Amino acid sequence: MEYKFNEIEKKWQDYWRENKVYQVSNNSGKPKYYVLDMFPYPSGAGLHVGHPLGYIASDIYSRYKRLKGFNVLHPMGFDSFGLPAEQYALETGQHPATTTEKNITTFKAQLDKIGFCYDWNRELRTSDPQYYKWTQWIFLQLYNSYFCNTQQKARPIADLVKKYETKGCKNFTADQWNAFTKKEQEDILMNRRLAFSAFGEVNWCEALGTVLANDEVVNGVSERGGHPVERRKMRQWFLRITAYANRLLQGLETVDFSDSMKEMQRNWIGKSEGAEIEFNIKNSTSRLNVYTTRPDTIFGVDFMVIAPEHEIVTAITTSEQKEEIEKYLAYVKSRSERERLAEAKTITGCFTGAYAVNPFDGRKIPIWIAEYVLAGYGTGAIMAVPCGDQRDFAFAKHFNIPITNIIGTHFTGHEANPTKDAVLQNSGFLNGLVMKDAMAVAINKVEELGIGKRKVNYRMRDAGFSRQRYWGEPFPITWCDGIANPLDASELPLELPHVDKYSPGPNGEGPLANLTDWINTANGRRETSTMPGYAGSSWYFLRYMDPHNDKTFCDRKASDYWNQVDLYIGGTEHAVGHLLYSRMWTKVLFDLGLIGFDEPFKKLLNQGMIQGSSRFIYRVAGTNQFVSAGLKDNYTTQPLHVDVNMVDGVDLNIEKFKQWKNAEFADATFILENDKYICGTEIEKMSKSKFNTVNPDELCDKYGADTFRMYEMFLGPVEASKPWDTKGIEGVHRFLRKLWRLLFDDLKGKIWTDAKATDAELKVLHRTIKKIEEDTERFSFNTAVSTFMICVNELADLKCNKKEVIEQLLILLAPYAPHICEELWHQLGNKGSVLDADYPTFNPALLVESTKDYPVSVNGKLRTNIILPLNLEQPQVEELVLQNEVVQKWLDGKPPKKIIFVKNKMINVVV
């Protein structure tokens, strides 16, 4: 009986589906465990071998946990709103809903082929109205909440209104509040809502009539068409994530993410401590407020730099400088934020003609504007200290601004020195203090004089939450006289209306603005922008817990039961965006009492990227002739990507190549080396356009899903990035066939027996149990696969065909290769899924050894091995070692200085 993997895999996938083997209940006496993958965006290109890496890891772990007696939630869904579908619609006229549906069908079929244990009954799609109804609902919760600074948590905005009505606040009394117009009141509340509307800068492209993402802007022009792009203020929705900055920071202490992942989030949040200091401006009533982390350097300030967008600019610019400044402002407007921050080499700036006054020594400080200072960070103004900050130093040198030295010999005049350990000079009342200590002294003085205060600052900005696009969640908001009106929860979902064309609406609005019937309602004009991609993904892990509930987003009972995601697997590309947003949403829902935990993901495992190994051929310039890689240097050539699937290693299959792309290269000729065409190679991102993608379906057809799963794991540690190479897959396939042959012979059929296992066989088994359990627990799936190979090799060497042993092995292997294990499990006469078997228990007694083959080194160099009983103590060991012939040879008659003996490890003789 042969190992017919295709039949077996189909059979068990059907069985699992029909018997609902992976359906999970919210009621169970077992402890729960929640394993989640970052759900995919269903792109038109389908799945390539890079996608399933994390899915296989999570699937193995889910099955393992189930075998270990847990009620495991392991769902899958689709992040199905997004730009590519809309872009595709723009090009082909096909509705995003149609193409998305089609793509999801393909994805699901591909996923099912690999044999994942998803509970598809809980599948969700962010673009499904039954799902985004609750995305909109949560948005309304955010809209109707504010961040209470006293309690450091979200509270209903109604609480704030009540306070204003009865007590007022430091800016107005209750009477004043009650006298405000509705619009005035709403404007004040908008400044506190967690989801709020305000003006924000966007990349505006006049020619395309639309807003562009940062990466759609290249060198100041649009990527599509090369049209000019400028910064423009537009009304946008935002999430007040900055209010949660500190809690997001503190929450990192309570979760199990890698240190580098936490570090990335900390850097993004960018907490800094310093001071805000106000400077008077000469001949002006305006004052300039700067934020600095180094108040100790206040006597070293030689100039100020403010953001070109700073509101004070026009007020302080002198008439002589007006023209210059306007020219510079026009230049800055043409620069995307990314460009403004990216080019460190070219220094630009412009003097306003105005001077600030140093409050301590009265010195005149010129005020400049420069693109590297952003309006959105701090106060949008900095005090520049060239002797201590390299960027300020470069700026001063470039514009010939004299530099004051406040750190004596620590400053060379050739570069800035950002030390905090220097003793201050030329620094008035701070003279003689070490900079570190001077900070507090300076801040205290500033506060005493009432010209500034201690300030904690965050680099993170509030998150832009609207997009001028079609394929996203509509906002449940209408506008009337400049006042936003939320829809009532009973009116949800506000369904995304059908459109016939996907081009932008007037005045930079999204496509929805074209639907006059839809936007005009009795309660005002509908919001025409839609929510960004991360809206639906910020809370999806909750919906899986209670996916069909039409009363609430997730019943509190369900979220109390499943609680946090125990293991979350996904790529590092979501390190800051998605993870921070979902952490924030979780905290808000927790604050409002809607769920019982405030961190969504207990443990995060980052899978590495599988890169593609591209193949190149070299066209001789201007011909249809291609030269083999080894000879290409003799010609002028252009490299051309060829499909990796037509290449065996680096050896091009010329016949296949000639038929490629509708026989585009049918007439090509070749310059070969040793009768072969050798391709060039390069490791790149796996992508369709580079022809280096490998389709998992084909590998599953050719070798089976079990082989494919194990090979992906065998490639290396899950967390590591590595290039894909199909070559080694044969080895894993051979392993599974070898396992099969322990029970079945191709000719004789069944060869397994009920005979009792020998000690040697049990030893092999229990060594494997121990190692597999350890490796699976620490997500070391690659070494687990090796362990299985070793085990089967050893059992084959022992000619062990015993049910007693192999049955246990099948349970261990089931998470990794579920189909073959299920088949063999039943062949051995068991009923029910192998996943419901009892996980083998490791028996240490079987592995106890009485002797050890010790490596013996002389002076740290390994010279021989000696087998010694394990119960020997140092003196006996020394005696036996010194008797050894090889050791005596290396001692060469000299007495040993010392003998190091580590029990059960090694022996080292020092001469």
Partner RNA sequence: GCCCAUGUGGCGGAAUUGGUAGACGCAGCAGACUCAAAAUCUGCCGUUCGCAAGAGCGUGAAGGUUCGAUUCCUUUCGUGGGCACCA
> What whole-number distance in Å separates Cα of residue 564 and Cα of residue 582?
12
Q: Which one among 256, 263, 326, 673 touches RNA, defined by CB under 7 A?
A: 263
Cβ 902 to RNA, closest distance in Å?
5
Q: Which one among 448, 853, 873, 892 touches RNA, defined by CB under 7 A?
A: 853
Instruction: Between 358 and 559, name the residue whose CB sits nearer to RNA.
Output: 358
Cβ 788 to RNA, closest distance in Å?
8
Note the helical H segments in 294-398.
Answer: 313-316, 322-333, 337-342, 390-398
Q: Which two tokens stand for residue 881?
A: 């070692």
Cis peptide before 493 (omega within 30 of 0): yes
Instruction: Between 168 and 571, name the residue whose CB sits nearer to RNA.
Output: 571
Q: Which one among 372, 429, 479, 670 touches RNA, defined by CB under 7 A?
A: 372
The one-letter amino acid code at 883 reads Q
Q: Which two tokens stand for residue 831?
A: 């009923």
Cβ 130 to RNA, closest distance in Å?
33
| Neighbouring residues of 233: CB distance < 8 A, sequence distance ≥ 6 | 199, 200, 201, 202
Which of these ranges, 135-143, 215-223, 402-410, 783-791, lies near RNA under the rule CB under 7 A?
783-791
Q: Residue 467, interface with RNA (CB under 7 A)?
A: no
The CA–CA distances, whole Å, from 715 to 49, 610, 690, 722, 813 equal: 12, 10, 22, 8, 17
Element (H, E) at 777: helix 759-777
Q: Residue 563, interface with RNA (CB under 7 A)?
A: no
Binders of RNA among residues 268 to 287 (CB under 7 A) are: 268, 270, 272, 274
Cβ 864 to RNA, closest distance in Å?
8
Binders of RNA among residues 381 to 420 (CB under 7 A) are: 382-383, 389, 391
Q: Are 767 and 847 in contact (CB under 8 A)?
A: yes
Q: Which one among 797, 838, 849, 879 touches RNA, defined by CB under 7 A?
A: 797
Cβ 620 to RNA, closest distance in Å?
27
Which of these ranges, 56-64, 756-764, 772-780, 805-813, lies near RNA under the rule CB under 7 A?
772-780
Cβ 290 to RNA, closest distance in Å?
8
Annotate 71-97 with three-state secondary structure: EEECCCCECCCCHHHHHHHHHHCCCHH
Q: Which one among 304, 575, 627, 762 touches RNA, defined by CB under 7 A?
A: 575
Interface with RNA (CB under 7 A), residue total: 90
CA nearest to 96, candidates 479, 398, 493, 530:
530
537-546: burial string, b at 16+ Cβ within 10 Å, e else? bbbbbbbbbb
Note the helical H segments in 664-728.
Answer: 696-703, 705-714
Q: Which two tokens stand for residue 598?
A: 């405030």
Cβ 889 to RNA, closest distance in Å?
8
Element (H, E) at 234: strand 230-239
The one-letter amino acid code at 337 reads E
Residues in contact with RNA, shown as a per-residue x/- string from 695 to 734 under the rule CB under 7 A: -------------------xxxx--xxxx-x-xx-xxx-x
Q: Which two tokens stand for residue 211?
A: 């807003």
Cβ 399 to RNA, closest distance in Å?
12
Instruction: Between 23 and 214, name the residue whose CB sits nearer to RNA.
Output: 214
> What whole-number distance in Å separates Cα of residue 176 and Cα of residue 574?
46
Binders of RNA among residues 736 to 755 (CB under 7 A) are: 737-738
Q: Which one among 380, 510, 511, 547 touches RNA, defined by CB under 7 A?
A: 380
Binders of RNA among residues 805 to 834 (CB under 7 A) are: none
Cβ 293 to RNA, closest distance in Å?
3
Q: Are 807 and 822 in contact (CB under 8 A)?
A: no
> What whole-number distance in Å separates Cα of residue 886 and Cα of residue 800?
39
Instruction: Between 640 and 650, name the residue whose CB sits nearer to RNA.
Output: 650
Q: Which one among 148, 157, 374, 798 touches RNA, defined by CB under 7 A?
A: 374
> What whole-number distance in Å separates Cα of residue 802 and Cα of residue 265?
53
The one-letter amino acid code at 615 reads R
Cβ 382 to RNA, closest distance in Å?
4
Cβ 854 to RNA, closest distance in Å?
7
Cβ 58 to RNA, closest distance in Å?
19
Instruction: Work out whether strand 195-205 and strand 153-156 pair parallel, antiparallel, or are unpaired.
Output: unpaired
Q: Which one among 59, 462, 706, 775 touches RNA, defined by CB under 7 A?
A: 775
Instruction: Between 123 and 701, name the residue whose CB sits nearer to RNA.
Output: 701
Q: Which one among 32, 155, 232, 863 touches RNA, defined by CB under 7 A?
A: 863
Cβ 418 to RNA, closest distance in Å?
10
Cβ 521 to RNA, closest distance in Å?
39
Q: Is 277 helix (H, G, I), strand (E, B) or coil?
A: strand
CA nearest to 693, candidates 608, 607, 609, 613:
613
Cβ 728 to RNA, closest distance in Å?
4
Which of these ranges, 328-336, 373-381, 561-569, 631-639, lies near RNA under the rule CB under 7 A?
373-381
Binders of RNA among residues 872 to 911 (CB under 7 A) are: 898, 900, 902, 905-906, 908, 910
> What whole-number distance in Å separates Cα of residue 680 and Cα of residue 639?
9
Q: Residue 860, interface with RNA (CB under 7 A)?
A: yes
- Distance from the Cα of residue 156 to its chain's centroid: 32
Q: Which two tokens stand for residue 839?
A: 């996980």
Instruction: Between 198 and 342, name the residue whose CB sits nearer to RNA.
Output: 342
Q: Residue 859, interface with RNA (CB under 7 A)?
A: yes
Cβ 221 to RNA, closest distance in Å?
19
Note the helical H segments in 195-269.
Answer: 245-251, 259-269
Helices 259-269 and 577-591, axial angle in degrees (round to 10): 80
Binders of RNA among residues 295 to 354 (CB under 7 A) are: 307, 337-338, 340-344, 346-348
What secondary structure does DSSP assign to 418-476, as a single string? Answer: --SSSBP-S-GGGTTSBHHHHHHHHHHHHHHTTSEEEEEEES--PEE--BS-SSSPBPS
Residues in contact with RNA, shown as a per-residue x/- string from 74 to 113 under the rule CB under 7 A: ----------------------------------------
Q: Residue 259, interface with RNA (CB under 7 A)?
A: yes
Which of these ranges, 112-120, 224-232, 618-626, 853-861, lies near RNA under the rule CB under 7 A?
853-861
Q: Residue 358, interface with RNA (CB under 7 A)?
A: no
Instruction: Between 74 and 766, name the residue whose CB sits nearer to RNA.
Output: 766
Cβ 306 to RNA, closest distance in Å?
9
Q: Are 831 and 820 in contact (CB under 8 A)?
A: no
Q: Is 612 helix (H, G, I), strand (E, B) or coil?
A: strand
Which of these ranges, 78-86, 197-205, 699-707, 784-792, lies near RNA under the rule CB under 7 A?
784-792
Which of these ranges, 200-208, 256-264, 480-488, 650-658, lies near RNA under the rule CB under 7 A?
256-264
Cβ 105 to RNA, closest distance in Å?
30
Q: Residue 483, interface with RNA (CB under 7 A)?
A: no
| Neighbouring residues of 282: CB distance < 8 A, sequence distance ≥ 6 | 354, 355, 356, 357, 364
Element (H, E) at 304: strand 303-306
What secondary structure does DSSP assign to 845-867, as a single string? Answer: GGG--SEEEEEEEETTEEEEEEE
> What whole-number distance in Å separates Cα of residue 750 and Cα of residue 728?
30
Q: Is 380 helix (H, G, I), strand (E, B) or coil?
A: coil
Which of these ranges, 179-187, 553-561, 750-758, 769-777, lies near RNA under the rule CB under 7 A?
769-777
Binders of RNA among residues 632 to 661 (CB under 7 A) are: none
Q: Which two tokens stand for residue 703?
A: 């070798």
